[in-house]
A and B are shown apart, each in its own frame.
Chain A
Amino acid sequence: MSGFLTCFAREWHLALRRSGDLLTVVMFFAITLSLFPFGLGADKALLQQTAPAIVWVVAMLAVLLNLDSLFGRDERSGMLDQILLAPLMSLEYAMAKWLVSWLLTALPLVVMTPVMTLLYFLPGPQTLLLVLSLLLGTPSLTSLGLLAASLALGARKGSLLVPLIALPLMIPVLIFGVGAVTLSQQQMNAASAWYALAGLACLLLPLSLGTASLALHHNRS
């Protein structure tokens, strides 16, 4: 546990020192989301209808932006070797990475969503639903991103490989995330979608952390 806290403190400090990277993600999210209303035109009904899917897809892409450096930077600096040799479980290291990545990359996107949905004329209750679905769904996105980053480690074109691994795996999360919002919008029974979203988060977190900590050991040649 103390290993986790030590790693968490390091990741946290490093992430805040590299605040430019974090800002890039937030700016990408804001700018991309503001492009769609220009392209789609001021059709209020169309914007309201497409908003959940657009916000979800852009959030998925934004989460992928910094994944290359998640383990890549530690690998290039030699830090990863030393972490693997330290009296520390690689699971604790992966957990710290996950938590900092979710708190500082995914959570700001969730927080920004109510502002961005103003451009889509999305009413308050529906914005709340969208925020809730992102709150439940982004942990899964971070998990899958971490998984992909650990598997692509050591590959020569790692930065291209990460989205190729992560995006297809994110499709179920996208389906249930958008489904939960649109079904609730249409006053239909959305409980199963919400449960599926929560279930995916519970399933993917331990699965990705376990796989990532194994992959870190195996990609060392």
Chain B
Amino acid sequence: MEQQEAKALGLLAEYETPQALMAAAEKVRDGGYKRWDTHTPFPVHGIDDAMGIQPTILPWIVLGAGATGTLTALLLQWYTNGVDYPFLISGKPLFSWVPAFPVTFELTVLFAGITTLLGMLALNRLPRLHNPLFDVKRFARATQDRFFLALDATDPLFEDSSARALLEGSGATAVEDVPDVPTNENIPSWMWQVAIVLVFATFVPLGLIAASYNSTSTTPPFHIVGDMDWQESYRYGEEVPFFDNGQAMRGALPGTVAVGELEEDDAFYRGMDDMGNWLAVAPVEVSKSVLERGRERYNIYCLPCHGESGNGKGIVHERALALDTSGWLIPRDLTMDSIVTQPDGQIYDTITNGFNYDAETGTGNMAPYAAQIRPEDRWAIVLYVRALQRAANASIEDVPADKRSAL
């Protein structure tokens, strides 16, 4: 509080030519000053010596960045194509040096290049939009056609009168104080408020994405770009104009077998032994679950005609009689003797290929069910039919003694 006057931050001297500046710089350097600088519109060669500027460490920083780029590129290519997702191309090694070269070179240059600019700015303490020198009006010519020397008042040797005398005697056309203009360097509060709101606003879309990611929905996902999700195409069972049979679905070519569908096992797939005789007993293991499966399939495919108990009086049959459809072929009673005595293999064959069925005209007693019922399910139905037959032809003796009273 001793000084009432605003203290100057330093002294600024102006010169008309680079040569004059250079001479002055040598004097200031020899005067032992440390905190000072010269400002010129273009790099004046020789001023580094005149000022005693030490070589910059920038090249070493750039070297480090370049080496980082090289290493990053090599690791990236080795890890992505050789380890994490091996790209096997023409039996070539997963990682080799020659094809890795271009990307390695480019990343080396990229890392080094970015570091060169940012390193230069960082070492120069730039960007620095406010500088006390800008408060001196004449300093605007430092980027145009004048040459300046600025002595900082914080230099230990700085003493106003001697410094001023030194500069004035160095060929300066003008020597001026650098005023200490108080500036409000704080960021205005409204900027903070806007910034806080913006930061929170950026979380809103992320939050919405996270919320929808962790929830279920009954509506289909929203596609910004459909890609190939919605193409015009025919569906199974649709009629098409351009195939002979008018079906969109293409069947297997005659005489061909798809992989895994050879069905070599005659016993299982056709119900025959090697000699071509019907198998007497189904080639599957009998268990409660298989019988349950058989009942389920029977009730879906067989019950409508053959009836729930296999007596041949299914609802379709009843309806056909009610309509008095002439030519209706009466479904067989599955529990009659001629079927009870059939081998398992023959019943299986009837389910597979139908009964008295003419494939050409699509008429006959019963159509084949090979397309609808899988082989193991056909055998399950055979077993269930056996159970129905047993039930239909049973006597009271077949019922366990403790359940008889329930009948």
* A and B found bound together: no
Interface residue ranges, A against B (CB under 8 Å): none
